[in-house]
Amino acid sequence: MTSSPYTVRRPGRSRFVDVRGLRLHVLQWGDEHLVAPQRPPLVMVHGWMDVGASFQFVVDALPTDRLVFALDWRGFGLSDSPGTDCYWFPDYLGDLEGVLDALLPPQQPVDLLGHSMGGNVVMIYAGVRPERVRRLINLEGFGMPESKPHQAPKRYAQWLDELKQPAELRPYDSVQAVAQRLRKTNPLLSEPRAAWLAQHWSRRRDDGQWEILGDPAHKRTNPVLYQKAEVLECWKRIAAPVMWVEGDRTDVSKWWGNRYPREDFDARLAVVPQLERHVLSPAGHMLHHDQPEELALHIERFLAS
């Protein structure tokens, strides 16, 4: 592993806001004087088992200075964990709105970006609160395979069985080992970026081991079935222009096999009223790590259009 970690161009500062009984962590780049009617705050939300600092590489690559916020979802990064057995998707919507209310003036429109799980959250939110979102960017927030009612008994049984077992994440001997783990998962992640990200993706415990900054309860099955029809009703109501971005090396069959064919996803995106699509290369699911400069150029152009 390289001894020279990534050098930050635009340092962020940490803020904490009290939302729905939890202390949530937000990174901020820039300040209020950068806000204009055609340049509202840009709010970024990360995916499952990630952190808000994950967007540092993209923020550094943005051609224009602007006010940017990146949230650590509940149970991730430096945000509080609620101490729950598992996590419920609507809570992310509630937390997002609570953070917006805490950070910004009432009714302040925002440009909203979400990756993976965060992309799913922002798509629903933009349909529920269309007046609050000026531009919307979805980075590989595919949603989930369509569920059927007959799956419910097995899903509930799986959840009950998992509740009887402790949820755990493996520790690491060093922060360098965390960086190596990041690169094993994503070989396109450079060594300097992995070394920098590992410091924000984990922390050292009292026993000297390093732990991932994610509540292990996130690994438990969600007993509530994914309701495709309900989600699409939200997507139909999105008033903002939407930019969809994906990596050319992303293979969703590794996650869901044949339960979620690509034509199903394309049909879902077709309900979005205003949509443009882009593919980054070479890039996988963590495209904000793989191609932050190219992604930043797309973001800059889209937000200025």
Is 116 an annotated catalytic residue?
Answer: yes
| Residue pair 137/245 in contact by the 8 Å Cβ criterion | yes
Q: Tell me the sheet residues that pair with 24.
A: 17
Q: Tell me the sheet residues that pair with 240.
A: none
d(CA 89, CA 120): 10
d(CA 218, CA 162): 12
The token pair that represents 133 in the structure block: 């979102």
Rounded to 5 degrees, what are φ and ψ at 266? -60, -35
Q: Cβ contacts of residue 31 below 8 Å, gap of 6+?
A: 67
| Residue pair 134/159 in contact by the 8 Å Cβ criterion | no
| Residue pair 147/156 in contact by the 8 Å Cβ criterion | no
- Which is the catalytic residue, given 116, 190, 281, 305? 116
The token pair that represents 224 in the structure block: 């509530």
Give the residue numbers annotated as catalytic, written as ranges. 116
